[in-house]
Structure 1
Amino acid sequence: MNLKTAYEPYFKIGAAISRWNLHTEAHMKLLTDQFNSFTCENDMKPMFFLDMNKNMSEPQKYDLNPALTFENAIPYLEFAKENGISMRGHTLVWHNQTPKGFFCENYNENFPFADRETILKRLENYIKGVLTFVQTNYPGIIYAWDVVNEIVDEGDFRKSIWTQTVGNDFYVKAFEYARKYAADGVDLFYNDYETALDWKRDFIIKNVLTPLMEKKLVDGMGMQSHLLMDHPDLSDYKKAVESYGALGIKLHITELDMHNTDPSDKSMHELALRYKEFFKIYLDAKKSGKANITSVTFWNLLDETSWLSGFRKETSYPLLFKGKCEAKEAYYAVLSAALGPDTP
């Protein structure tokens, strides 16, 4: 038995991968053996699609239609095509990992910001270019895009270079363009972290998802779910899952991991038990119809390749596999959530 088979009746099960994973045969065998979906950790973020050298070299030519490059994305798309595995696209619009020059006159970050209409036209053509390339050359591979990522912070819309140059409605425009150019059947998602916090859940529902739903621009909500051993509270998380689910849109768990700095057997047992509780929430919500969860993605494959150790500046043991692709107790706990306690 494997994860993708166990969860096939309920939702796709995926993992994020990096270039290191992509070029490590054992890691990719683990991916195809256990998962039926994957996400690029970094190589499909704006900085990797925008060809800023070309844009800066001929700024008049590309003023409203930025030059793009797909050299970083193609190896992942080729792998998906060759192995019959689906992809989530992550992410078209983000305040981070977007070159400052994209927002400036002549694409030069030493110049003033371009006007709103110029940036919106660049945004439209960037989204059009990415979606058209992927859908023309790799039709059916990407089943969902995180169109906009992390625009809520400190009780309001995040102050960012996007809000500074375009305004708070930049995310609506991004979804308009994505809807315009996305192929039929490709789902469009808003994605964010700490989405179980009461204030953030309510703000996202009221000020992000509801306006997009009224315009028929969004298909789903992405709960990143970078968890801790003591946060969030299970009941708060369950409430959030059901609150987003009650909107009638799809729900994806997009960046699942659980920070844990203690590799002892006792601690890894506690990690396994906590993972199982979260998967029980997903399964209960799906089976009861309280949330239409269609995809759950772990943020990388192995403890050793998790972003958390670098981000937290302490070694983390947050995932289901370790070392030479060895299954941890957490793997069997997640499997048993779907199959029952007698899982082999």
Structure 2
Amino acid sequence: MISKKLISTGLALSLCVTSLAVPSVSDAAKKPSITKKLTVNVGKSKTLKVKKASKKAKVTWKSTKKKVAKVSKKGSLAAKVKGISTGKCKIKCTVKVGKKKYKLTCAVTVKGNKKTNKATTAPAASNKPVESAAANTSSAPVATTTPAATPVATPSFVTMTPATKPPVTLPQSFKNNYNGIFEHIGTCANYYGYGNKKDQLRDEEPMNFIKDQFNSITLENEMKPDSVLGNNSTVITVAQAKELGYVIPDNYKEEVVPQLNFEPADGALKYCKDNGVQLRGHTLMWHQQTPAWFFRADYNGGKAVVSKEVMDARLEFYVKTCMKHIFDKEKELTGEYGSLCYAWDVVNEYLHHTNQPGSTTWIDVYGEQELRPEYVKKAFQFANQMVEEYNCKDKVTLFYNDYDTYFEVEDLVKFVNFINEGEKTNICQGIGMQSHIDIERPTIDEFKYALETFMNTGLEVQITELDITINFDTDESNGREAKFDYKDEDETWDDQAKFVKDFMHMILNVQKTRNLVTAPKGLTAITIWGLFDKCSWRNKCEPLFFSNGIEMDEAKPAYYSFLEAADEWYN
């Protein structure tokens, strides 16, 4: 028989073991939560409440799809969710308790009757030509030479009278909503890529998404010199190069040339041909993402930097061979030169060429030439010669592309004027504004001034790499050095959407009211730099229009702000 003393000792030990195995207070009990699923009817509202949170907690709410359901704060810990139209979305809630932050999500389904089940659609383009817009009174520097011929529009692009809404409706998308306003609405993509950017032009889901949303793509990295030349030099003889169709200029005196990799570009062109999309060539010359061995004797990174004369021949070989390959591939795929690649960034970011310290670049060969770099002008001359040789002056536009252009307005105009100086026609025909911007930087007025100034040079203007961050450290007040990285500033998707609305309102107003004498071409394209936040190079600051994927329930409020802005074109 077991004694009472033994029993009590056993119970005590059991309690000790139990207290060691299980926390005295459950972490789950402390963590705030909300209902994970909610169904609401169109026109009706339901309340979402944060459970297990102190009334002192800071709570913010946002809807991923305000056209389906709107959310508004109701007290310190609750929100009202109102059904707007049938569909699904997510209500996202951020709860700050002291230094801790909790992100909660509720999946919302909005139901309705037949009257509320109609699909939302967007207007298509009519066949009417663009009429003269009201004169723009702003003054700006004008290019020193006569602008080149107006490029032929994309086959899918149809111009229209801004005041006339077309009668046919199309599904809402970037390209459909802006059809007739800009020639191209694009994104950057990867053929092979890496990580969560892998195989975007070879995997069915992103391939279809790109085709449905855009009519233009830019390869993010795979047409840059690093990719085409390769990290490690592989050389072939000049004779072998000629058999491959490479362009070997008369002043090329070396016995070997680098073997070039065009496989991703070829795959991208095939995708474009099969899906009614066009391609921006990015980029032929850049001080970054260009291997150091390209500037050294025998294409050997351990040898001395070559002379200007040797580099001139290498530059001509590279520019002309890359462009010839693309022209010939277009002919093979479509039977027509200039049918797929409608623009080239001939030179990228020269105005910021000092931001690659320690690397061998063009500066090591040519020296510092400030706003009159001879090798940049030569790159455009070689590119222009290829466009003329293939009779594509009316199909292909040659661009200078850079970031922070809204802070370099006067210098950029001087620089482009130098490139075109003394030429029979403009060899630089376009200005690319990358536009990696933040809702606080630049101001909309700063961007507007730059856009109007660039338009009034008479050159074509494109926004080439658009993304719009929130919670991004841009503070340079009182002599502070901005970190240009993530900083929690309590900025939300709704703040981003409001900025997008104001930003696109400005863009469209400048486009519509520009002076067609000084700015005949205006803004011809907007390229969004990535498919969704998670695969953005600035992902911590959520700069894109979809969050973690390309499904429609990942569309952010900024996506709908961007689409809705197009309606103003007709008002």
TM-score by length of structure 1 reads 0.89
Aligned CA-pair RMSD: 2.7
Q: d(CA) in 1 for partners of 2:409 and 2:345?
A: 18
Residue of structure 2 in register with 1:121 after alignment: 313
Residue of structure 1 in register with 2:380 after alignment: 175
Structure 1 residue 54: Cα displacement: 6.0
Is the 2:463–2:525 Cα contact (8 Å) retained in structure 1? yes
Q: d(CA) in 1 for partners of 2:346 and 2:565?
A: 31
Runs of 4+ in 1 over 3 A off after TM superposition: 51-66, 156-160, 261-266
Q: d(CA) in 2 for partners of 1:50 and 1:56?
A: 10
Residue of structure 2 in register with 1:211 after alignment: 418
Residue of structure 2 in register with 1:86 after alignment: 278
Q: d(CA) in 1 for partners of 2:352 and 2:340?
A: 32
Question: Which of 161-170 and 70-79 deviates more?
Answer: 161-170
Structure 1 residue 22: Cα displacement: 2.3
Residue of structure 1 in register with 2:203 after alignment: 24
Q: Secondary structure at the match of 1:152?
A: helix
Residue of structure 2 in register with 1:166 after alignment: 366
Cα deviation 1:179-204 (Å, max 9, x = unaligned): 0112412100000000101xx11111
Structure 1 residue 166: Cα displacement: 2.6
Q: d(CA) in 2 for partners of 1:341 and 1:82?
A: 31
Is the 1:56–1:108 Cα contact (8 Å) retained in structure 2? no
Q: Secondary structure at the match of 1:196?
A: helix
Structure 1 residue 286: Cα displacement: 1.6
Residue of structure 1 in register with 2:109 after alignment: none
Q: Secondary structure at the match of 2:306?
A: coil
Residue of structure 1 in register with 2:212 after alignment: 33
Q: d(CA) in 2 for partners of 1:28 and 1:3?
A: 15
Q: Tell me which structure has the larger Cα radius of gyration.
A: 2
Is the 1:145–1:186 Cα contact (8 Å) retained in structure 2? yes
Residue of structure 1 in register with 2:404 after alignment: 194
Q: Given residue 104 of structure 1, which amino acid in structure 2 is its aligned partner?
A: R
Q: Secondary structure at the match of 1:8?
A: coil
Structure 1 residue 289: Cα displacement: 2.3
Q: Secondary structure at the match of 2:284?
A: strand
Paired-residue identity, %: 35
Residue of structure 2 in register with 1:151 after alignment: 350
Residue of structure 2 in register with 1:13 after alignment: 185
Q: Does 1:302 align with 2:532?
A: yes
Q: d(CA) in 2 for partners of 1:51 and 1:260?
A: 35
Residue of structure 1 in register with 2:158 after alignment: none
TM-score by length of structure 2 reads 0.55
Q: d(CA) in 1 for partners of 2:236 and 2:374?
A: 30
Is the 1:65–1:121 Cα contact (8 Å) retained in structure 2? no
Q: Secondary structure at the match of 1:232?
A: coil
Cα deviation 1:213-243 (Å, max 9, x = unaligned): 3322111000000011210011011000001
Residue of structure 1 in register with 2:506 after alignment: 281
For structure 2, the residue ranges without an aligned partner over 5 or more in a row are 1-171, 242-253, 331-336, 368-372, 472-486
Higher helix share: 1
Q: d(CA) in 1 for partners of 2:502 and 2:382?
A: 38
Q: Secondary structure at the match of 1:287?
A: helix
Residue of structure 2 in register with 1:48 after alignment: 227
Residue of structure 2 in register with 1:97 after alignment: 289
Q: d(CA) in 2 for partners of 1:245 and 1:158?
A: 30
Q: Given residue 556 of structure 2, which amino acid in structure 1 is its aligned partner?
A: K
Q: Given residue 180 of structure 2, which amino acid in structure 1 is its aligned partner?
A: P
Pairs within 5 Å for 1:190-339: 190-197=400-407, 200-206=408-414, 208-214=415-421, 215=423, 216-261=426-471, 267-290=492-515, 292-309=522-539, 315-325=540-550, 326-339=554-567
Q: d(CA) in 2 for partners of 1:27 and 1:300?
A: 11
Q: d(CA) in 1 for partners of 2:219 and 2:311?
A: 26
Cα deviation 1:232-278 (Å, max 9, x = unaligned): 01101100000111100000000000122499997101111111222
Structure 1 residue 106: Cα displacement: 0.3
Structure 1 residue 67: Cα displacement: 2.8
Q: d(CA) in 2 for partners of 1:44 and 1:55?
A: 17
Q: Secondary structure at the match of 1:320?
A: coil
For structure 1, the residue ranges without an aligned partner over 5 or more in a row are 310-314
Structure 1 residue 129: Cα displacement: 0.8
Q: d(CA) in 2 for partners of 1:33 and 1:117?
A: 48
Higher relative contact order (CA 8 A, sep 6+): 1
